[in-house]
A and B are shown apart, each in its own frame.
Chain A
Amino acid sequence: MNPAVLIASVYVFALAAFLGYQVISRVPPLLHTPLMSATNAISGISLIGSLVLAGAKGYPLPAHILGFVAVTTATVNVVGGFGITDRMLKMFRKKPDAKQVATESKAVAK
């Protein structure tokens, strides 16, 4: 690896770690379950690595098949993770109005 690129990557890693610490320690315990499923969905970003493996120029068929499995699992992670996080966050309300919630949950039932 080109040393300059490596050093830049290490910078990115260190800054992301610092930023992550700052941002995530502010998340209240109330939201720890959605936080975990959200970060999990976000780390499904390995999907973009899988996409390259599954279809990019210069990769042989076995790599494409591995890539297919990886794309599938990563997509499950992304779609399932974001879907369920949204379902959870929708439930957190300050003053729930029973009727309104009931109709909304019917309307948004997806």
Chain B
Amino acid sequence: MTLTTYFMEATYLVASILFILSLKMMSHPDTARRGMFLAEGGMFAAIVGTLIGAHIVTWTWIIAGLAVGSIIGAWMAITVPMTAMPQRTALSHAFGALAAALVGVGEFMVNINELGPVKRGALGFEIMLGALTTTGSLIAAAKLQGIIQGKPVQFRGQNVVNASICLGMTGCFVYFWIHPEASTVFYTMLALAFVFGVMLVIPIGSADMPVVMSLLNSYAGLAAAATGFVLGNNVLIIAGTLDGFSGFILSVLMCKAMNRSITNVLFGGFGAAIAEVSSDAGGVMREISLDDAAMQLAFANRVIFVPGYGLATAQAQHAVRELGELLEERGVAVKYAIHPVAGRMPGHMNVLLAEANVPYSSLYEMEQINPEFSSTDVAVVIGANDVVNPDARDNPKSLIAGMPILEVDRAKSVIVLKRGQGRGFSGLENPLFFKSCTSMLYGDAKSSLSHLAQAVQHV
């Protein structure tokens, strides 16, 4: 080993330590930002180390790639609105996974004869995970952005088709593993993995995106870790594994928050064909006027806001903060209840409310806030549906039976801000809307909230 190689390895060690420290500091919002500076420093060190230690001879492509990538990355980081965070993250997963897959293809082109059986196995995983994450994430991003429909796409024999693709891909992998010189088989595997990524994500509805996002996050990380095995590079293994496990933990949490298994999310096609099994939620939905709603809020002691994806689509996070502040000035205790799967990615609502300057000490997790609903005067549901559906708790036949919910129906009164009378994404009837304590305020959440704020000022 030459001196520069030692230097490179030393920067990798430093980078690994800094990455772990930065994730540790992520455990508290006060330290998280400083933690990210450490991670950035680690990344910078690893890049410099590589450029010095890896016997670089051609600089053109490197400089061009770094420049183009930095411009696109910086542009994304600055311009993307917080409401579009889920699709931005999905797109980013696609980019990361594509890089891993391409490095794999490069290794195959150049070094395949020097790779032993173990490295060939890792290379196969790198290619498959990288490619399917790339297309899967692109589809997820397109769904979240509304470029393609968010409803599950399903057809007859879908699972058979998917199983055949998966089988074909695995078959190619095994053949390639035994005969590393078979480049046709290798590229077939790559192509099938790209197709498989598409097929995996199109049957999944937008409401299940938190799980899909977490899983793709995990795959992208594992692809990077597999790259580490192929290149014999520890910092890649460490960083990739951290990412892989973080995604995995988040998927498990999201599944728990919906009381569903990962298999069910991936292959269940939730929300496609809903049999009518909701409880006899007949009755009338009671509409409430703006002034009455404002009156209720202004004279309440405790108010809890329950945001859902509708808050994001209406971009109503600033409007809800204004209303909340006005109420607080009147001496009302205002809290925000966040369901783990509210929105389209883990923590989506927290980021939106933080953007609107709601202090994080007012944001409460489901377990913390549920006991408080019974002593709450008004619960305001903003564009949330399934996460407050009492059927999940009371009706064992419901499709979402057993899913933990925010128990807003225990509040003295509930105001539901909703665009129209239609059902939510899952197509399930929500008995909450028919309860005697519930009143509906129809209209765009943002304008409803700002009108409420005006009305509260005049009370």
Q: Which residues of A contact B202 (CB under 8 A)?
A: none
Least CB distance from A106 to B in Å reads 14
Q: Which residues of A contact B249 (CB under 8 A)?
A: 21, 24-25
B292 proximal to A (CB < 8 A): no
- State the majority secondary structure of interface residues on B: helix
B65 proximal to A (CB < 8 A): yes
The contact string, 1 if C-beta is below 8 Å from chain B, for chain A 1-23, is: 10001100100110011011101
Cross-chain contact B357 with A101 (CB below 8 angstroms): yes
By beta carbon, the residue of chain B nearest A48 is: B50
- The verdict on A33 contacting B351 (CB below 8 Å), with A86-B33, A110-B78 known, is yes
Cross-chain contact B357 with A39 (CB below 8 angstroms): no
Q: Which of B226-234, B258-266, B397-405, B431-439 contacts A (4 or more CB under 8 A)?
A: B226-234
The contact string, 1 if C-beta is below 8 Å from chain A, for chain B 19-40, is: 1101110111110110010011
Least CB distance from B79 to A in Å reads 10
Q: Which residues of B contact A5 (CB under 8 A)?
A: 232
By beta carbon, the residue of chain B nearest A65 is: B61
**A86 vs B122: C-alpha distance in the bound complex, in angstroms?**
33
Q: Which residues of A contact B236 (CB under 8 A)?
A: 45-46, 48-49
Least CB distance from B111 to A in Å reads 9
B335 proximal to A (CB < 8 A): no
Q: Which residues of A contact B39 (CB under 8 A)?
A: 38, 41-42, 82
Cross-chain contact B70 with A66 (CB below 8 angstroms): no
Cross-chain contact B29 with A43 (CB below 8 angstroms): no
By beta carbon, the residue of chain B nearest A69 is: B102
Q: Which residues of A contact B371 (CB under 8 A)?
A: none
The contact string, 1 if C-beta is below 8 Å from chain A, for chain B 60-76, is: 11101110111011101
- The verdict on A79 contacting B26 (CB below 8 Å), with A20-B241, A86-B33 known, is no
Name A83's contact: one of B50, B77, B243 (CB within 8 Å).
B77
Cross-chain contact A93 with B360 (CB below 8 angstroms): yes
**A90 vs B34: C-alpha distance in the bound complex, in angstroms?**
10
- The verdict on A83 contacting B110 (CB below 8 Å), with A12-B237, A46-B96 known, is no
- The verdict on A74 contacting B96 (CB below 8 Å), with A23-B24, A30-B29 known, is yes
Please give the number of chain B residues whose Cβ is less than 8 angstroms from any Cβ of chain A in the complex.
113
The contact string, 1 if C-beta is below 8 Å from chain B, for chain A 67-110, is: 11111111111111111111111111111101001000000001
Chain B CB within 10 Å, residue with most, of A28, A46, A71: A46
Cross-chain contact A40 with B78 (CB below 8 angstroms): no
The contact string, 1 if C-beta is below 8 Å from chain A, for chain B 231-271, is: 11111111111111111011001000000000000000000
Q: Which residues of A contact B76 (CB under 8 A)?
A: 76, 80, 83-84
Cross-chain contact B354 with A93 (CB below 8 angstroms): yes
B109 proximal to A (CB < 8 A): yes
- The verdict on A94 contacting B360 (CB below 8 Å), with A27-B27, A42-B39, A71-B69 known, is yes
- The verdict on A29 contacting B346 (CB below 8 Å), with A69-B102, A75-B69 known, is yes
Q: Which of B51-59, B181-189, B301-309 contacts A (4 or more CB under 8 A)?
A: B51-59
**A50 vs B275: C-alpha distance in the bound complex, in angstroms?**
50
Name B234's contact: one of A9, A52, A80 (CB within 8 Å).
A9
Can you give 28 contacting A-B residue pairs, CB < 8 Å? Answer: A13-B225, A13-B229, A24-B242, A24-B246, A25-B249, A27-B26, A30-B365, A33-B347, A33-B348, A36-B214, A36-B217, A42-B39, A43-B220, A43-B239, A45-B46, A45-B240, A48-B49, A51-B51, A70-B103, A73-B96, A75-B69, A77-B73, A82-B77, A87-B77, A89-B32, A94-B30, A95-B359, A96-B358
List the interface of chain A (C-beta within 8 A of B).
Answer: 1, 5-6, 9, 12-13, 16-17, 19-21, 23-60, 62-96, 98, 101, 110
Top 7 A-B residue pairs of the complex, sorted by shortest distance between their CB atoms: A75-B69, A83-B77, A71-B65, A79-B73, A32-B347, A80-B73, A32-B346
